[in-house]
Structure 1
Amino acid sequence: MPVVHLHITQGATREQKAQIVKEFTGTLQSVLGKKPEYTHVVIQETDEESWGFNGMLTDEFRKNEDLIK
């Protein structure tokens, strides 16, 4: 039974999440032959101030990114 755990920052719509589940399930089926009825996809959303990379929190990174544009 495959289980996919996906962590993203908050903001994805229900439709986007549904597309992710559909496409990840399809990929596991086509590449590994896994049955869709046994495939689970867990999407965990984290707010931007609780996610960091490159030495800063994501909300701060995005503020700086907007200044560069």
Structure 2
Amino acid sequence: MPYVHVQVAENDYSDDQKRAVMKRIVEALDEEMGRAPQSTNVVIQEIPKENWGVGFETIASMWSKR
């Protein structure tokens, strides 16, 4: 039973966007590895921007400079 854990920075992703990502992941595992869609688990975890760093800076700080 495949388990896929996707971590993204919190960014107000819509339910439709999350479903679309899950669908493509499940389809890829089915097509490339023969894993039945009903046995594939996908978890999308949104990490607060203040808790994700790149180098010495948080993503929240980086994004605020855009």
Instruction: Flag whether TM exceeds 0.5 (same fold).
Output: yes
Q: CA deviation at 1:54?
A: 2.4
Partner of 1:30: 31
Q: Percent identity?
A: 29
Structure 1 Cα separation of the partners of residues 14 and 24 of structure 2: 15
Corresponding pairs, count: 65
Q: Mark the runs of 5 or more structure 1 residues left unpaired by the alignment.
A: none
Q: Deviations over 1:14-67 (max 9, x none)?
A: 000000110000000011110001000011111111111122100111123x1x
Runs of 4+ off more than 4 Å? none
> CA-atom RMSD, angstroms?
0.9
TM-score, with structure 2 as normaliser: 0.91
**Alignment partners' CA distance in 2, 1:5 and 1:55:** 25
Amino acid at match of 1:24: I
Corresponding residue for residue 45 of structure 2: 44
**Structure with greater helix percent:** 1
Unaligned runs of 5+ in 2: none
